[in-house]
Amino acid sequence: MLSTAVNAWHSHTRNVERSMERIATGKRINRASDDPAGSMAVDHFNADLATLNKQLDANRFDQKYAAARDGGNAAISDLLLELRGHIVTAANTGAMSDTERQAIQDHVNSVVDAIDFVSNTYTFNGQRVFGGALATTLGATSKIEEQKDPNDPTKTVTVNRTLSLVSLKSGGALNMVNGDLEEAQKVIDSAIGQNGSERASIGAKAKDLESQERLLQQQIEGVSGAKSQIEDTDYATEVSSLVKNQVLQQAAAFMMQSAMQQMKQLTALIGTSTMR
C-alpha cells in the first residue's frame, strides 16, 4: 500500500509541476518531450512566420521607397508647372520688353537647375531615387532639321537635334528671349505628361504593395493562430487539471501517512509479540 501511495504521489506531483509550468509560461509545449509531434509542427510554423515577417518588412520598405519616389516626382511636377507658366508668359511677345523677357529667362534657368538639383541629390536610404539629371531626359524629343553644310555653304545637311528642358536655358534653341517657344511648349507638355505617367505608375505600385501587405498580415495572423492552438496553454483546462492533481496529490500524501502509521502499529505489535 505504501509503495502504491508513493508512486501515486510522485505521479500527481509531476502533473502539478507540469500544470504550474504551463500556466506560468503560457505554453502547453515547453520542451519537445511535452508533445513531439506538436513541437515539430510549431517549428514549421515558426519558420513560416519568420519568412512571412521578412516579406512584410521588405514590403514596407518598398512602400516607403514608393512614397519617397512619389514625393520627389511631386516636387518635379511643381517645378514643371512653374516652367510652363513662364513659357506661356514669354509667348506674349506684344506686351513684353527685352528686359522682362530676360528676367523670365533667368527664372527659367533657375527652375531647370532646380530640377537637376532635385534629381541629382534626392536620396532614400542613402541611394539616389532618380537615375540621373532629369533636365536632359524629361520631355526629350528629337527633331530633324535641314542646315547649311559648314564645309560647303551651297549644300544642306540633315541634322538630328535633341531638344529637352536644358534647351530652355539661356543660349538654348528653346530659350525665352529668341528661341522657338512653340517647340518649348511641346517639350514642357511632354515632360509634364512623362512625369505624370511616372507618378501614376508609382501610385499603382504603392496600391499593389498595400494589398500585398494586407495579405501578408492575414497570412501571419492565420499561421500565428494555428501555432497558438498547438503551443499555447488552455488556461481553463490547465487550471482544472492543476486543481484535480493537487487534490490527488494531497490524497496520495494522506495515504502515505496512513500506510506509514499502519506499518508503525504493525511493527509495534510484532515487537510486543516477540517479547512475550
Beta-carbon contacts of 14 under 8 Å, excluding residues fewer than 6 positions away, are none
Taking only the tens place, the pLDDT of each residue in 225-250 is 999 888 877 767 777 877 887 877 78
Would you state the torsion angle of the CA atoms of residues 142, 146, 149, 150, taken in this order, to the nearest 10 degrees?
Answer: -60
- Pick the closest to residue 232 from 14, 45, 15 (CA basis): 45
Whole-model pTM above 0.75?
A: no
The pLDDT of residue 149:
65
How long a stretch of residues is the chain?
Answer: 276
Q: How are beta strands 152-163 and 141-149 bridged, if at all?
A: antiparallel
Task: Give per-residue pLDDT as tens, 153-208.
Answer: 666 766 677 889 999 999 998 999 888 898 999 999 999 999 999 999 999 999 99
Residue in this structure with the C-alpha cell 520542451, named with its chain if needed: 31
* Ordered DSSP codes for 107-172: HHHHHHHHHHHHHHH-EETTEESSSS-GGGTTT-EEEEEEEEETTEEEEEEEEEEEE-GGGGSTTS
Q: What is the C-alpha separation between 56 and 213, in angstroms, rounded?
A: 6
Residue holding cell 522682362?
A: 100
Between CA 88 and CA 258 the distance in angstroms is 108
